[in-house]
Chain A
Amino acid sequence: MLNFVLRRIALLIPTIIGISICAFAFVRVLPGDPILAMAGQHGVSPERYEVLREQFGYNLPIWQQYFNYLGSVLQGNFGNSLATKRPVITEFMTLFPATVELAFCALFFAVIIGIPAGIFAAIKRGSWFDQAAMGVALTGYSMPIFWWGLLLIIFFSGYLGWTPVSGRIALSFFLRPITGFMLIDTLLYGNWPAFVSALRHLILPAIVLGTIPLAVIARQTRSAMLEVLGEDYVRTAKAKGMSPRRVVNVHALRNALIPVITTIGLQIGLLLGGAILTETIFTWPGIGKWMIDSIFKRDYVVVQSGLLIIALIVMAVNLIVDLLYALINPRIRVK
């Protein structure tokens, strides 16, 4: 197993180098000028422009710029945002918990509804429930989520007034972040009303972000269950007179859930992408919105380092999913 883990990690090194080159190169070829992007409506004098170019090292040959960048990244320095002058990594760490919290709740929402719906649909295959559930799932899967988010805001926040329009918590609560996860922080402060407020703010964004994972998980659970229910050992158990509920609980479920878990793992990378749209619509202060704003603001340093950090995280998550899968299913390791 250790061997397998090491080999998997070694395989990642060229990919990581490739990612760093890409992130670096993308930013160099972006149209627009980072120094002019910082200036306001008066522009910047040619002399000052040269001074700044030198300060940022934009006058060096491109490969040297890359190695300087790589060197500082290896020392944990991802550069400073051009707009706010704060270290990119500090901004990232401040905003990342918001995205994780949102993604986790979205996934939670998708799992607690998706898995039971999938199982039930498989057991009652062909029933009205199966058809309705799968119809809804496919609709969810086809949903342009930015539009879906707007509709939910119009209806629940605008028309019914049930949920807040945007933000992470009502402004009347002033809690300095401990972990950055609003649900955890409010509990750590023992502030129950604040927790409820944070939860209310999370509901709509979590539903919007969770819609596609929900659809995927429900469909995947159903087909995995169908497959397992058709296996010989399940049929045997059935034939031996085991109650259908016991068949499902004891035999089918455990085996059917293995592929579902992989699916869930793969959704995590997608959630980070989906967070871009969801966070934009709900003005959720997370990294998706941060990246979008930075692309539009031409904050080159943030775009470059943000891409790198996000790609590294996605890779790490995928690696963990792979390893977990190998742990559950030893046959993989041999390959």
Chain B
Amino acid sequence: MKLMTTLLAASALVALTAGAAQAKQLVYCSEASPAHFDPGPLTGGNDFDASSHTIYNRLVDFKPGTTEVIPSLAESWEISEDGLEYTFKLRPGVKFHTQPYFTPTRDLTAEDVVFSFERQMDEESPWFNYLEGMTWDYFQGMDMPKYIASMEAVDDLTFKLTLTEPNAPMLANLAMDFAAIVSKEYADQLEASGDLAAFSTQPVGTGPFQLVDYQLDTVIRYQAFADYWEGKQPIDDLIFAITTDASVRAQRLIAGECDIMPYPAPADLEALQADEDLTVVEGEGLNIGYISYNTTEAPFDNPEVRKALTMAIDKSAIIEAVYQGAGQDAKNLIPPTMWSYDDATEADVYDPEEAKRILEEAGVTDLTTDLWAIPVSRPYNPNGQRVAELIQADWAAVGVTANIVTYEWTEYRERGKQADRKGPFMIGWTGDNGDPDNFFATLFSCSAIGVSNYSSWCNDDFEAAIQAAKTTSDQEERIELYTTAQEIFKAEEPAITLAHSKVFMPMKKTVLNYTLSPLGTHSFRYVDVQE
């Protein structure tokens, strides 16, 4: 026991001295291992945090803390009158990282930009399929191949993008993670050596940090890039300590093993907020947790029945028991921080008596239905099972019997898409680019039936509004159209809009200048640590 105490004391001492001798470092307890470091084909928020926000930049960027698009690698841009031609002026003198495995001989040019996108759409390119079984998920998902007519490097610092038809959200798309600009020179070097896969494990970018080392499932180390075009970052070393369990992350933060962490378990918030060495930064998430009725299935094909069932649910109980205060009641499909949010919409009321009356009036008695519960924890719904249990109890009170069903996550979504799916289906969405189109059209357009329109809901007026809003670039007009869309949505109730979850970032008080992103990304650009 004495030996033990000595050892503990010794190591505590060492930790102190080691800390003082080190350069300024920030330790981020991240929630999962990145698959690799090429943001193009990746899909997970944790993947992007470890690659696109540290190692790379994009042509344009979201202003920190907002979804407003601002210049990044492109200093300025022009959009032609017809909305089809985008001309970007690149920032001169942008340097790529120098790594043991690559020494750049030139600065960023339009060639790099062309390559960054071409590799994602040109099936003939060796880079289109450079990793076994890869897909360019976001590039496809945002319909880029459909919209891009051509790309051109006009000169070293001018990049021209031509579209097939006007697309209002295009600029925001280019600020998304998949649009990271990579080095063509590095790609050529790897192509010559034949080791294409290294592109994903030994990344080279223009971003604020460069990769030093990655120990599988354990720790990622970055150092600040000295020649970064915005100037070197205030911190010297950035460390991602991969800690998958939320409670363990919280304990590591409290124990001082890390400086900042994402996604605290709602249950731990109180303890984290009470800790005097910590602050918990809080913000609105750009997401929605909802439950899709199958609007083609009786009796859910009757909007009155749908509204009555929604009315029978005590949403405040769900927000308290499941989100534990880390969520807010959703009255619209889009979250309140998004432009065009219709604040005039009335919140759902909880009135089991009235609900029962309407159901009886509609001839719905002794209804037995399946209720689909998501099998995994998502930012928009931390515990689908618990939500289902609560709704089950609420519906029982109005005479509706709900059987909770669930499947493995991929199978769950596949089965949910089926047109003949029985029963309301729990699902949600996290915004990609801050554009309302990314919610309305992706989730409830007619063409999304069988893809991500789990309500199989196709309403002509709604469809007309959102399609018109997609092609016009007049902001006022778009807001008006989306307001109409929200009114129709509420009157028809194709889905129960449950909640928008809040985002929390607990961190030490010594962490300065951290800005919470509504898009759910975690960027350590501009962050400093107080000594």
Contacts and interface: CB of A to CB of B under 8 A. Distances in A.
B10 A172 contact: no
Contact of A36 (B15, B44, B257, B414): B414
A164 B241 CA distance: 13
Contact of A165 (B15, B129, B142, B251): B251
Given A42-B138, A48-B140, A165 B248 contact: yes
Interface in B422-456: 429-430, 451-452
A283 B18 CA distance: 24
B257 A85 contact: no
Contacts of B8: 162, 200
Tier of interface size on chain B: 35 or more
Contacts of B131: 85
A172 B18 CA distance: 7
A190 to B, nearest CB: 14
Q: In this complex, which of A35, A39, A56, A172 has the most chain B Cβ atoms within 10 angstroms of its Cβ? A: A172
A176 B219 CA distance: 11
Given A44-B137, A45-B140, A85 B15 contact: no
A37 B412 CA distance: 11
A162 B215 CA distance: 26
A65 interface: no
A39 B407 CA distance: 17
Given A55-B132, A197-B15, A200-B7, A85 B137 contact: no
B241 A167 contact: yes
B305 to A, nearest CB: 29
Interface residues of B, dominant DSSP: mixed
Interface in B239-286: 239, 241-245, 248, 251-252, 254-255, 257-258
Contacts of B10: 193, 196
Contact of A172 (B19, B142, B248): B19
A83 B140 contact: no
A40 to B, nearest CB: 3
B429 A41 contact: yes
A19 interface: no
Given A43-B451, A86-B201, A171-B257, A166 B243 contact: yes
B133 interface: yes
Interface string A85-122: 11000010011000000000000000000000000000
A172 B255 CA distance: 14
Interface in A169-205: 170-174, 176-177, 193, 196-197, 199-200
A227 B520 CA distance: 65
19 contacts: A31-B411, A35-B133, A36-B414, A40-B141, A42-B141, A48-B135, A52-B133, A55-B132, A55-B133, A84-B36, A86-B36, A95-B217, A157-B251, A166-B243, A167-B257, A170-B15, A170-B257, A171-B239, A293-B244
Interface of A: 31-33, 35-45, 48, 52, 55-56, 80, 82-86, 91, 94-95, 153, 157-158, 161-162, 164-168, 170-174, 176-177, 193, 196-197, 199-200, 280-283, 285, 289-290, 293, 298
Given A83-B35, A170-B18, 13 more contacts: A33-B411, A40-B44, A55-B132, A56-B133, A158-B254, A162-B8, A165-B251, A171-B239, A171-B257, A173-B18, A174-B213, A200-B7, A285-B216
Q: Which 3 A-B pairs have the closest CB atoms?
A: A40-B43, A42-B141, A193-B14
